[in-house]
Amino acid sequence: MRSANAMGIIFANMHDENIPELIARRTMASAPFAGRYRMIDFVLSGMSVAGMQNIGVVVRNNYQSLMDHLGNGREWDLSRKRGGLAIFPPGAQGAGNGSQGRIEALGNVIDYLSFNKEELVVMSDCDIACDLDYAALIKEHSASGADVTVVYEKAPIKDSLLEDNITYVLGQDGYVSEIRVNDYKKGMQNLSMSVYIIERELLLNVLKDAIVRGYESFEKDILARNLTILKVRGYEYTGYRARISDMRSYFDENLRLLEHENLKALFPKERQVYTKVRDEAPVRYAIGSQVTNCIVADGCIIEGEVENSVLFRGVRVGKGVKIKNCVIMQGTVIEPGAQMENVVTDKNVKVCEGVSLRGAKGFPVFVGKGQCVE
Amino acid sequence: MKECVAMLLAGGQGSRLYALTHKLAKPAVPFGGKYRIIDFPLSNCVNSGIDTVGILTQYQPLVLNDYIGNGQPWDLDRLYGGVHVLPPYQKATRSDWYKGTANAIYQNINFIERYNPQYVLILSGDHIYKMDYDKMLDFHKETKADCTIAVLEVPMEETNRFGIMTTDKKGRITKFEEKPKKTESTLASMGVYIFTWDKLKAALEKDEADKNSENDFGKNIIPDMLATKRRLMAYPFEGYWKDVGTIDSLWEANMDLLDPNMPLDVWDPSWKIYSRTAGRPPHYIASGARVENSMITEGCTVEGELESVVLFAGAKVGRDAVVRDSIIMPGAVVEDGAQVNYAIIAEDAVIQKGAVVGARPEHMADVSKWGVAVVAEGVTIGAGAKVPPKAMVEQDVKDGDKA
């Protein structure tokens, strides 16, 4: 495929506050998901597969794990002489106080936006794992003649999103007539997926003006204020999506992949999702192991019983262990005889012999990174 | 300059793997769920600190070339050194295929000399083992050997399959017999040699000048070095090693991965086996599936029953299908209700609904007719069709037929 005439900007830390336990030492972008991925893999792979070869990741804090994950971008085919992956910590292109706003963040990469040659800029956050066809999005945006295309899903506003949602009111023509911030209405809404596509020159212009005026929010201060001047068009995404809006949804969305149709929908054959390769051996199922309705990543050794669970890479499940409805992250060791139900363990947790750990279905127990449960 | 350069002989056809090597060279045959045979010597090299490897290819090199690429999965993409695929090439005056293992190295003397090494490690691409070549190199240096051959003890009844070494008390090789019918010793060559380069170079040049030579390490180079009183040492290796040159041994080596005593441990983080992977989602075990004593990797879907099975990337086993004591290679599909016993199902083959492949020895009236059944790459076994044990199926079998 010819390279797309669009560059990408990915915001790594947006929506961090939704999952405080998980982002204690990482970003939303590097939150582990679906057994062997990080949330950013879905965005980054989607852009790369669409032929975008110039992608900047804007990070604010806690980004060591993300840097480690991304490396030079080779795994996403973004280790390029011309373009490729670029990571922008605060102050990477001048001052920068690491504030939360998207305008501030974009202001931080204004030189990067200026010296590149692509006609369009696609911006995305990392809180939704989905199979967005960026090539189709770019094509439709270009054909429509809109100034900005915003991607939305039809969904109700969950309680967990009450303080973190943007909704669009769309006219008959598919153009946005009103943008609402943190709406509370019940029922189906055109809920923003925080994916925007805009002409690069236009973005630079509105950005410079917004910075001069001390604006912070791209949606509130640039888009919502200028709907009479800017033609903002909606693009509905109808495919599979997993939105991480709180710890509960993190748990639920991992387990929802146990429906085989969902797993297949998130990982379609035609658009591969790339991630860092860790060279783990295949999973070993010992004699006496019993596993049903699970997704299991490489490197695990399973000797016990596992049901309705997602096992990330390199998990050890000892003899006599019983696990049900759990999300077990990379490197967790569950010693013989332990029992767990409705538990999320972060990376490298150890659950000692004979321990019993139980959360409620709607309230999973979370065990933080590297902890030992005795 | 590099102290030691490895040369990996990967040109062999592997004719005793029959249908499995029609389209690819033996070192490229899939192994152990997510590997290919060549991953073992390559990973051994990089784990032993050897970062310069020449891979000698000749037979069906396309898959192998593609697989090796720039060597990045093995950390062998280096500015100086790294991995190089070395097919036979045309010279100013003449051009030759590689006539034998020694001739393959002879034709690449220039490659080796670019690195000006003191030692050259010769490996073959058809053995499964984990070995620290650095320790062997230390042994080679300590014993001031001209050539060190890695050896392991084999049962007396198997000595006729190997190059057999006889040594004195200090491990110096006094006799070398290639596949002897009868012998005193049980020390078998593993096909892993370290040579002091100037000694090997001289031997290769001498061998090349000999018109009657078969240009083979085991048949010519080693016997000649012995005859000329070179210092040849046997380096004893303890650990798992298997030549996977036949259907049975390939099947057995895969089954060894499932042995509870883990004679071949690929899960050890201190000696990783690297491979080039397509990167698929984690595998899926459906409710109602039953998996025991098996190995499963990324991209697989299991809805049926597995017992003692190695499932390769992207393989699928349907509902009520029963697979036992078998290896199912990448992308192969065992459809609903099919039965597979003691079989190798090669890449992208399809065993359609209700088909039966292979049999269990205990169910055979005549056990002498039993053996591992093989379904070759891309072959479809039609619904309800039967493939008997020991069969080698290279063409599609229609619904209900018998192969």
d(CA B247, CA B244): 8
Which of A283, A289, A303, A329 would you mutate first to test chain B, the one with the most B CBs within 10 A?
A283
Flag whether pLDDT at A1 surpasses 60: no
Q: What's the whole-number mean pLDDT along residues B293-313?
A: 98
Q: How confident is the model at residue A92 (pLDDT cuts 50, 70, 90)?
A: confident
Contacts of A9 (CB under 8 A, 6+ apart): A55, A56, A57, A58, A106, A109, A113, A121, A122, A123, A124
* B94: confidence class by pLDDT, cuts 50, 70, 90: confident
Look-up: residue for tokens 């293992």? B101
More confident residue, B335 or B90: B335
- A:B CB pairs within 8 Å: 104
The pLDDT score that the predictor gives to residue A95 is: 54
Query: What's the average model confidence in pLDDT over B295-321?
Result: 98
The string of pLDDT tens digits covering residues B315-362 is: 999 999 999 999 999 999 999 999 999 999 999 999 999 999 999 999
Query: Rounded to whole angstroms, how far apart are CA atoms B292 and A303?
Result: 9
The answer to whether B267 contacts A299, with C-beta atoms less than 8 Å apart, is: yes
- In tens, the pLDDT along A31-90 reads 999 999 999 999 999 999 999 999 999 999 999 999 999 999 999 999 999 999 999 998
Q: What would the pLDDT profile of B10-25 be if each residue is shown by its tens digit?
A: 988 888 999 999 999 9
Whether A106 contacts chain B with CB within 8 A: no
- Subunit contact B282:A289, Cβ cutoff 8 A: no
**Tokens 């350069």, residue?**
B5
Write down the pLDDT at residue A94: 61
pLDDT at A100 over 70: no
Angstrom distance (rounded) from CA B128 to CA B209: 34
* In the predicted structure, residue B74 carries a pLDDT above the cut 90: yes
Using a CB-CB cut-off of 8 Å, the residues of chain A touching B284 are 260, 263, 294-295
Q: What is the mean pLDDT of residues A89-93?
A: 78
For residue B34, list chain A residues with Cβ-Cβ distance below 8 A: 281-282, 298
ipTM, two decimals, is: 0.94
Instruction: Report the half-sphere exposure of B34 (CA within 13 A, side-chain side).
Output: 33
Average pLDDT on B133-162 reads 96
> How much is the pTM?
0.94
Mean pLDDT along residues B373-391: 97
Render pLDDT for A159-185 as a digit per residue (tens, 0 to 9): 999 999 999 999 999 999 999 999 999
Q: Output the average pLDDT for chain B.
A: 96
| Nearest CB neighbour to B281, from listed A263, A290, A292 | A263
Considering chain A, what percentage of its residues have pLDDT values greater than 90? 93
- Averaged pLDDT of chain A: 95
Q: How confident is the model at residue A192 (pLDDT cuts 50, 70, 90)?
A: very high
From residue A349, how far is each of A332, A333, A338, A342, B251 by CA, in Å? 5, 6, 13, 15, 37
Tell me: the pLDDT tens digits for A203-240? 999 999 999 999 999 999 999 999 999 999 999 999 99
pLDDT of residue B278: 85
Reference B61, options B8, B118, B112, B121; nearest CA is: B8
Please give the Cα distance from B40 to B60 (Å, whole number): 20
Burial of B165 (0-12, 13-18, 19+ CB in 10 A): buried
Whether residue B208 has pLDDT greater than 90: yes
Q: Is A277 on the interface with B (CB under 8 A)?
A: yes
Residue A115: Cβ-neighbour burial (10 angstroms; 0-12, 13-18, 19+): exposed
Considering only CB atoms, A293 lies closest to which of B274, B287, B301, namely B287
Is it the case that residue A145 has pLDDT exceeding 80? yes
Q: How far, in Å, CA of A203 to CA of A74, rounded?
A: 28
Chain B residues in contact with chain A using a Cβ-Cβ cutoff of 8 Å: 32-34, 72-73, 258, 260, 266-267, 272-275, 277-298, 301, 306, 310-311
Between β-strands A166-170 and A176-181, what pairing exists: parallel, antiparallel or unpaired? antiparallel
Q: Is the pLDDT of residue B279 over 90?
A: no
Cβ neighbours of B5 (radius 10 Å): 25
In B, minimum Cα distance to A313 occurs at: B282
Q: Is the pLDDT of residue B219 over 80?
A: yes
- Phi, psi dihedrals of residue A222, rounded to the nearest 5°: -100, -60
Residue B170 corresponds to which tokens in the numbers above?
Answer: 């200090």
- The reply to whether residue A283 touches residue B296, judged by beta carbons under 8 angstroms, is yes
The distance of B76 to chain A (nearest Cα, Å) reads 15
